Copies of this chain bind each other. A is one copy, B any other.
Amino acid sequence: MAKARAHPAAKRKPAAKAAAKRKAPPKSAGVADSAHSVSPLAPRTYAKLPPLAGVRLATGEAGIKYKSRTDLLVAVLAPGTQVAGVFTRSKTASAPVDWCRAQMKAGTARALVVNSGNANAFTGKAGAAAARDVAVSTAAALGCRAQEVFLASTGVIGEPLPAERITAIVGKLVEAGAAEGWSEAARAIMTTDTYPKLATASPLIDGRKVTINGIAKGSGMIAPDMATMLAFVFTDARLPSTVLQDLLSAGVKTSFNAITVDSDTSTSDTLMFFATGKGAAHPEISAATDKRLGDFRQKLDALLRDLALQVVRDGEGAQKLIQIDVTGAENDGAAHRVGMAIANSPLVKTAIAGSDANWGRVVMAVGKAGEKADRDSLTISFGGHVVAEKGYRADGYNEKVATRAVSGRTVEIAVDLGIGKGKARVWTCDLTHGYIDINGSYRS
């Protein structure tokens, strides 16, 4: 997201063709044309999101950068909607991120406006003014305060945002907002994504069923230890912004902050969580630790993880999903950092792309992570097959079995450091020619 160039996100093949492609795993390190077809790791079917009380959606063609596709999403939210957010830790954050951070303290939201095609990042005072213009015009159409309009932009960095193209149609979209249209909403915020990311869940709060709907986008400039890419989660539950924030900050750790595509962190990473309170009546909840939130919390975490994995599966050029489990670390933080060192290693990622069970590169990545590690107590498995242990190639090492474990669409790497109880799970994708094709071509 917030990619520093515009890439034609068109030419998306229908899901049926993607499914056909999926049957034949790649023999080489990714085919050159993969950038333009649906990722072979795409879900077989996209989640069908139900209407969510208190949310009306509309999408439009503002023509910001792309032609003949929607590039603007407006979500109109019921009065009293509570909001929480997690944002990029980049020191060069975008204007919409600055705007949202400033408005987040009040904790209430009436609208979300998202555009693709331009990140409105590194655009100076003009960028801040452009963000304000979009918020003000949306608020005018809706009859609310501009501070209740939340914004996100994704696309090229450093180009002035033509806000007038947004303000020209945002009023119509506010009027046109409808309960249906989640799939269209997810498509409108795509840049180099090859499929829309959607997820839904129906947890119970004190026996009353509520709904959570989420959409997200990827798919490059995706990195760890920061907030996330663009993702918006909505619920009709009645929860105050403080509770939403606690739930979100906890859930992001095992989802969006546990994935990496290319180690590059966007200027625009944004995850927001809106609660309209217009669903089934349930008792008032004032703390995220409330036991009656158990099911909600569990299903929210699963939904965030689902969306995060959809982002990895659509990583630029991705041909394989790699899951990395680290156990036996000094603590959970150390395990996470070792996992990310493996997940971000170009040599590990290219080896997996080439179906090479090259566990020596995993040893290297563990060694460079900077965390406590003991070469002679390290155990490494590929797909459950132990390839290395006690500072040496495992006695039962079988090259054929190890190779098979790295040859499919999903690869599982397990590393036990053997020195403590810290553990973490992270995900990444392989590094292929597709990534070079997408990012090594000229912007326009």
Q: Is A183 interfacial (CB 8 A cutoff)? A: no
Q: Is A373 interfacial (CB 8 A cutoff)? A: yes
Chain A interface residue count, Cβ-Cβ cutoff 8 angstroms? 81
Q: Is A364 interfacial (CB 8 A cutoff)? A: yes
Docked-complex contact B91 and A366, CB < 8 angstroms: yes
Q: Could you tell me the distance between the alpha carbons of A442 and B390 in the complex, rounded to whole angstroms?
A: 25
Q: Is A226 interfacial (CB 8 A cutoff)? A: yes
Q: Is A392 interfacial (CB 8 A cutoff)? A: yes
Copies of this chain, complex-wide, total 2
Q: Is A79 interfacial (CB 8 A cutoff)? A: no
Docked-complex contact B391 and A355, CB < 8 angstroms: no
Tell me what chain A mostly uses at the interface: helix, strand, loop, or mixed.
loop
Docked-complex contact A391 and B122, CB < 8 angstroms: yes
Chain A residues 348-372 with CB under 8 Å of chain B are 350-351, 353-356, 358-361, 363-372
Residues of chain B lying within 8 A (CB to CB) of residue A441? 29, 354, 356
Q: Could you tell me the distance between the alpha carbons of A439 and B436 in the complex, rounded to whole angstroms?
A: 14
Given contacts A366-B91, A391-B124, contact A347 B221 (CB under 8 A): yes
Q: Could you tell me the distance between the alpha carbons of A443 and B360 in the complex, rounded to whole angstroms?
A: 11
Given contacts A359-B158, A363-B121, contact A354 B440 (CB under 8 A): yes
Shortest distance from the beta carbon of A37 to any chain B beta carbon, whole Å: 18
Q: Is A126 interfacial (CB 8 A cutoff)? A: yes
Binds B, one of A209-217, A260-268, A305-313: A260-268
Q: Could you tell me the distance between the alpha carbons of A121 and B360 in the complex, rounded to whole angstroms?
A: 8
Residues of chain B lying within 8 A (CB to CB) of residue A5? 351, 356, 358, 360
Can you offer 6 A-B residue contacts whose CB atoms are under 8 A?
Answer: A30-B440, A92-B363, A157-B363, A267-B367, A346-B435, A432-B440
A interface residue numbers (CB < 8 A to B): 2-5, 28-30, 88-93, 119, 121-127, 156-160, 220-221, 223, 226, 262-267, 344-347, 350-351, 353-356, 358-361, 363-376, 378, 388, 390-393, 431-433, 435-437, 439-443
